[in-house]
Amino acid sequence: MRPFLLFLSLFFSVALYAQEQTEIIKLKQLQDHLHAKSDRIKVINFWATWCAPCIKEIPLFEKLNSERSDVEVTLVSMDLDLDPNPEKVYRFIDRRKIKSKVLILDERNPNMWINQIEKNWSGALPATIIINSKTGQRKFVERELHEGELEALIAEIL
Amino acid sequence: MIRLVLIMMACLLLTAASPVKSGYDIGDEVADFRLKNVTGKMVGLSDYKDSKGAIVIFDCNTCPYSKAYNERIIALNKKYAPKGFPVIAIQPNDPAQSPGDSFEEMIKLAERKKYEFPYLMDETQQVVRAFGATNTPHVFVLKNNGGKFTVAYIGTIDDSARDASGARKKYVEDAVEALLASKEVPTVRTKAVGCSIKLKNS
């Protein structure tokens, strides 16, 4: 019985960890995050657990998050568009030990909000926005990124 | 000097007037294409010269959005093929990057789901590049004007990917119904979250 309880408590603490660093948000909060002034370069990546190229490039964002104190990485999950249960996202964060901030967007009808985030975005995943809020410069990429590309894009608007 | 400035201004105007074109826009005429169907037969837009139009859908086997919309795509063809707007599905993904979208897998899906419409392989990806489709499923409703097909709607099927019953806006149905009634299409362009199309060298 004891080991089982220990296992149970461990299991739940892990799941709680994922929920603590994750926030389910509405469009308004995402827009606030995009527009907020910051001393750091904001890197916002749109992804989903079902998106293979997204999963492939996530280590690049994690690396950036751990190595660069002048950069603020946010991973915005689009999972709820297809599945209202966020459990898959929590499990992914646990399994991969994701350290970057994760926001889960809870909005229906993407046609109403995609243009409010980025006009050049078709809605296809993955997509990444890089913002220097001090100069107002912004980069947008709608494809999978490869080693070194993020650093190069950031350097262009530093 | 003045001439140089004028030439420079002309150059600027020219570049401003000719933006990089990425795919068809509303009203554009669609070039004929000919692709291999899962039956082994070649199918082209010109085969539909007697229909009122067509619902061209860039779709695939593997994308969760394609799976979520699969029954709705089959239903669109059932409803609108008899009225002159049949579905033509085109699979644009590079099977080297997405093995589940190989021609063999396409044949299996079409058989399992009893497709009554063509499911074409865009092997060279020339068709997806011409249309400018970005994700799956990505719909282009075409109107036939005496053999010339023009684009009347570009975008998503409806506003509820997760379940058909939750849809408040059925964009493709609304577009086709409008065309059948010779009315203006109410919404000509929509965006949706989806799987990016796997192009070669990208």
**CATH number for the domain including B71?**
3.40.30.10
Dist. CA A42–CA B68, nearest whole Å = 33
Residue A84 touches chain B, beta carbons under 8 Å: yes
Q: Do A123 and B169 touch (CB under 8 A)?
A: no
Structural domain that includes position B42: 22-196
Q: What is the least distance, in Å, from the CA of A1 to any CA of chain B?
A: 41
Q: Do A114 and B162 touch (CB under 8 A)?
A: no
pLDDT in tens, B123-153: 999 999 999 999 999 999 999 999 999 999 9
Q: Examine the pLDDT at B17 and tell me if it is beyond 50.
A: no
C-beta separation of A74 from A44 below 8 A: yes
Residue A121 touches chain B, beta carbons under 8 Å: yes
pLDDT of residue A15: 56
Residue B15 inside a domain? The answer is no
Residue B201: pLDDT band (50, 70, 90) is confident
Q: How many CA atoms lie within 13 A of B174 on its CB side?
A: 19
pLDDT of residue B22: 82
Mean pLDDT of A133-150: 96
Amino acid at B184: E
Residue B1 inside a domain? The answer is no
A146, closest residue in chain B (CA to CA): B202
Mean pLDDT of B82-103: 97
Positive or negative CA dihedral for B159, B160, B166, B170? positive
Residue A26: pLDDT band (50, 70, 90) is very high
Residue B101 inside a domain? The answer is yes
Query: Among A9-13, B7-11, B104-108, where is mean pLDDT lowest?
Result: B7-11
B188, closest residue in chain A (CA to CA): A111
Mean pLDDT of A66-86: 96
CB < 8 Å to A115, chain B: 191
Dist. CA B55–CA B140, nearest whole Å = 6
Dist. CA A74–CA A143, nearest whole Å = 17
Q: What is the token pair recorded at A55?
A: 């999963």
pLDDT of residue B16: 44
Mean pLDDT of B149-166: 97
pLDDT in tens, B32-54: 999 999 999 999 999 999 999 99
Residue B13: pLDDT band (50, 70, 90) is very low
Residue B4 inside a domain? The answer is no
Residue B8 inside a domain? The answer is no
Q: What is the least distance, in Å, from the CA of A13 to any CA of chain B?
A: 30
Mean pLDDT of B81-108: 98
Positive or negative CA dihedral for A99, A101, A106, A107? negative
Q: DSSP labels for chain B?
A: -HHHHHHHHHHHHHHHHSPPP-S--TTPBPPP-EEEETTS-EEEGGGGTTSSEEEEEE--SS-HHHHHHHHHHHHHHHHHTTTT--EEEEE-S-TTT-GGGSHHHHHHHHHHTT-SS-EEE-TT-HHHHHHT--EESEEEEEEEETTEEEEEEEE-S-S-SS-GGG-S--HHHHHHHHHHTT---S--B----EEEP--TT-
CB < 8 Å to A143, chain B: 196, 202
Q: Examine the pLDDT at B19 and tell me if it is beyond 50.
A: no
What top-level class would CATH report for the domain A2-157? alpha beta
Residue B156 inside a domain? The answer is yes
How many domains, in total, are found in chain B? 1
Q: Is A105 helix (H, G, I), strand (E, B) or coil?
A: strand
Positive or negative CA dihedral for B47, B50, B56, B59? negative
